[in-house]
Structure 1
Amino acid sequence: MKKLTTAIVMGSLMSTAAIADKWHMPTPYGDGNLPTQIAYGFAKDIQDATGGELEITVHSGGSLVKHTEIPRAVKTGQVQLGEVFLGILGNEHPVFKHDNIPFLATSFEDSKKLWEAAKPAVEKQLDQRGMKLLYAVAWPAQSLYTDMPVNQLSDLSGSKMRAYSPSTSRLADLMGTTPTTIQVPDIPQAFSTGIIQAMITSPSTGVDSQAWDYVNYYTDVKAWIPKNIVVVNKRAFRRLDKDVQSAILTAAEHAEKMGWEKVAERAASDKQKLIDNGMNVSDPSAKLISELQAIGNTMVDEWKAEDPKEVGAILDRYNP
């Protein structure tokens, strides 16, 4: 009888273990960033809603999978879901570039409109790659960090600028600088060793990497508002019970809502931290803005030429 009871208990434990799913979610950014904090909340919401039936472990800061490898890891099922900066998919299809085009959408209101215009095309392309879109989180507007004051583009002539997506590489070219691919963890060393002298990124990335330790000037050009997206492997998602799928989609909806609500607040507080730590923070000159807007117009035209039908439809929905 004792052996039978033990067998029943062990069988019950094995059954419970079989029912509980443990998923892994790599993210590219550190715990201090808003998208990562949203990801932790997303995972907790799912665990709570499913009573522990699905547990998601968030691996932040590229600790499990490097940023550029996350889309492939999700697509091939190496991990079940992951977070990625949308713009790094730009080489796969032009629709992924929509939020990396300078001055196309520079306010959070316009960025939301652009996202709604682009979302159907993004979902279509992800679906063809074996992934399902769960949610998106916006970054604060991207601005210019330099080791010298910049009042016009000629001030940057000969500089090397950080690039992290196809669009930012093209932007660096058009600005008369040399694009140099640098991922977030390597930014401080890249500046300190002279590998780059400029970058365009968010105040949040500046705070996370303690920009005041390696660069002096922040020019608040507000060039564009990019996003991270969280995607799930379609096969892994389909294997889940319907109630678990529903819990994931509900948590995703909540995560996106929280992201849009909190990003403006985070943008203001992180910009103030740059000031508090001694950086020279200023608004751009009229000449610099004019030059950057002209580059933005060029990049919109080039973007549309890559796929007139798909990109044209996005622009039509964005500017009805």
Structure 2
Amino acid sequence: MPITRRAALAGACMLPGLRPAFAQAARWQAATGFAEGNYHTRNLRSFIDAVAAETQGAVQVQLHANGSLMPQPQIKRGVQTGQAQIGEILLAAYGNEDPFFEADAVPGLVRNLEDARRLANVQAPFIEARLARQGLMLLYLAPWPQVAITANQNLTDPAQLRGLRIRSYSPISSRLASLLGAQPTLIVAPEVPQAFAAGLIQAQLTTAPVAADTAVWDYSRFFIKAAIATSKNAVFVNRRAFESLPEAQRNAVLAAATAAGERGWRLAAEAEAEAEARMAARGVQVVEAPAVVVEAIRAAGHTMIEDWATRAGADGRRMLDQYRAAQG
């Protein structure tokens, strides 16, 4: 587990008046596909600022938001190859690479932030092990609010989903759309408004902050809350770059990551409420999905949970057992 800031600095503060010495300077790049104003990006920037402060400016990280350094699908590979030292990704978007990256996005497995936190606690060691094999080190996980649906019509019957051209954001969300009879198209968030304008999609699976960040009021009249899933972002660092830092700098990075991980859970709840209010103020109707729609989604989810466990193998079953035990 990441050590505390007190422990990180303890060795350098043993003598009165002695400040920690950060002899080695590092100039890193951080890449994220999310907008500058998104709470995940703001959290990442706060983490970066904390690293600079705790290392007395010896570790400086330049943040590139909204896919400006590289598109989101390329970020993980970009950090592996050293094009950037820190990256942030939506874990579920990498589900084709490894089923553990999409566990939290399986419909019906996680229904609220409390469930999401329990799952994160048991999921993290499996994620860490997989990233380590690829030359990466997990810094922190941070959740999204629940996935919902935006559309120009209120979806009150599962039959309305059949044939609907719907934006998905990951392989597993595409699978859900297909099970519901919709026609999924995988589209990254910045391209959603154009996809609606061009008629490529008629609805989308998304969260309240992403919907608000992409001015959902310009292309959808309804934001339909259906308790679909609660996904997470992962922020990670190139292990070789991290290990090249002196110990005091590594400890400072870990302490800042611990704080960012904790902050992310609070920001998710705040961002959901703020985004829903912003949408409502611009004329979007924020509504709860009727029970019949929620039940159709959960029925698909039961199938997908078993499918996921089969693909994830023994580790998957072990993680599910740990998660269900944590639920009590």
- Alignment TM-score, normalising by the size of structure 1: 0.93
Q: For each residue in 1:140-199, what CA deviation from the matched residue of structure 2 results, as whole angstroms up to 9, or x when unmatched? A: 111111122211221122111112211011111111111112111111111122100111
SS at match of 2:66: coil
TM-fit CA distance, 1:31 = 1.2
Task: Identify the range of structure 1 (242-251 vs 95-104) with the bigger mean alpha-carbon deviation.
Answer: 95-104
Q: Is the aligned partner of 1:97 residue 2:102? A: yes
Q: Distance in 2 between matches of 1:34 and 1:317?
A: 30
Matching of residue 171 in structure 1 with residue 194 in structure 2: no
- Measure the CA separation in 1 of the matches of 2:162 and 2:299: 17
Q: 1:64 aligns with which of 66, 69, 75?
A: 69
Instruction: Supply the distance in 1 between the matched residues of 2:290 and 2:65 (Cα, whole angstroms).
Output: 37
Distance 1:319 1:207 in 2: 33
Q: Which has the larger radius of gyration?
A: 1
Q: Which amino acid in the other structure matches residue 261 of structure 2? A: E
Q: Is the 8 A contact 1:221 1:283 kept in 2?
A: yes
Could you tell me which of 201, 205, 216 is aligned with 2:206?
Answer: 201
Aligned residues: CA RMSD = 1.1
Alignment of 1:37-116 (within 5 A): 37-116=42-121
> C-alpha separation between the residues in 2 aligned to 1:58 and 1:189?
26
Match of 2:185 in 1: 180
Q: Which of 216, 239, 247 lines up with 1:242 in the alignment? A: 247
State the AA in 2 paired with 1:164: Y
1:159 aligns with 2:160: no
Are 1:39 and 1:255, in contact at CA under 8 Å, matched by a contact in 2? yes
Q: Deviations over 1:119-160 (max 9, x none)?
A: 111111111111000011111111111122211221122111
Tell me the distance in 2 between the aligned counterparts of 1:89 and 1:209: 22
Distance in 1 (CA, whole Å) between partners of 2:158 and 2:131 is 36
Amino acid at match of 1:101: V
Question: What does residue range 271-286 of structure 1 map to in structure 2 within 5 Å?
Answer: 271-286=276-291
For the residues of structure 2 that align with 1:79 and 1:280, how far apart are their CA atoms? 40
Q: Is the 8 A contact 2:122 2:323 kept in 1?
A: yes
Deviation at residue 222 of structure 1 after TM alignment: 2.1
Deviation at 1:19, TM superposition (A): 3.4
Counterpart contact for 2:104–2:232, Cα < 8 Å: yes
For residues 259 and 148 of structure 2, the distance between their equivalents in structure 1, rounded to whole angstroms, comes to 28
CA–CA distance in structure 2, aligned partners of residues 146 and 95 of structure 1? 30
Residues 258-286 of structure 1 show CA distances to partners (whole Å, capped at 9, x for unaligned) of 11122111111111111111112211111
In structure 1, which of residues 89, 104, 124 is the aligned counterpart of residue 129 of structure 2? 124
Where does residue 28 of structure 1 map in the other structure? 33
Q: Distance in 1 between matches of 2:304 and 2:289?
A: 20
| Secondary structure of the structure 1 residue equivalent to 2:138 | strand
- Residue identity in the other structure for 1:193: A
Question: What is the CA-CA distance between 1:307 and the residue it aligns to?
Answer: 2.3
Aligned equivalents of 2:291 and 2:72: distance in 1? 36
Q: Does 1:302 align with 2:302?
A: no
**Aligned partners of 2:271, 2:318: CA distance in 1, in Å?**
32
Structure 2: 5+ residue stretches without partners: 1-22
Q: SS at 2:201's partner residue?
A: coil
TM-score by length of 2: 0.90
Paired residues of 2:169 and 2:205 also in contact (CA < 8 A): no
Give the deviation of 1:240 after TM superposition. Answer: 0.7
Tell me the secondary structure at the aligned position of residue 297 of structure 2: helix
CA deviation after TM superposition for structure 1 residue 53, in Å: 0.6
Match of 1:259 among 264, 288, 303: 264
**Which aligned segments of 4 or more residues in structure 1 are displaced greater than 4 angstroms?**
none
1:187-226 matches, cutoff 5 A: 187-226=192-231
Q: Could you tell me whether the CA contact under 8 Å between 2:227 and 2:294 is conserved in 1?
A: no
Q: Residues 280-307 of structure 1, C-alpha deviation per residue, up to 9 Å, x if partnerless?
A: 2211111111111101101101001102
SS in 1 for 2:153: coil
**Helix, strand or coil for the counterpart of 2:223?**
strand
SS at match of 2:286: strand
The code of the aligned residue for 1:138 comes to P
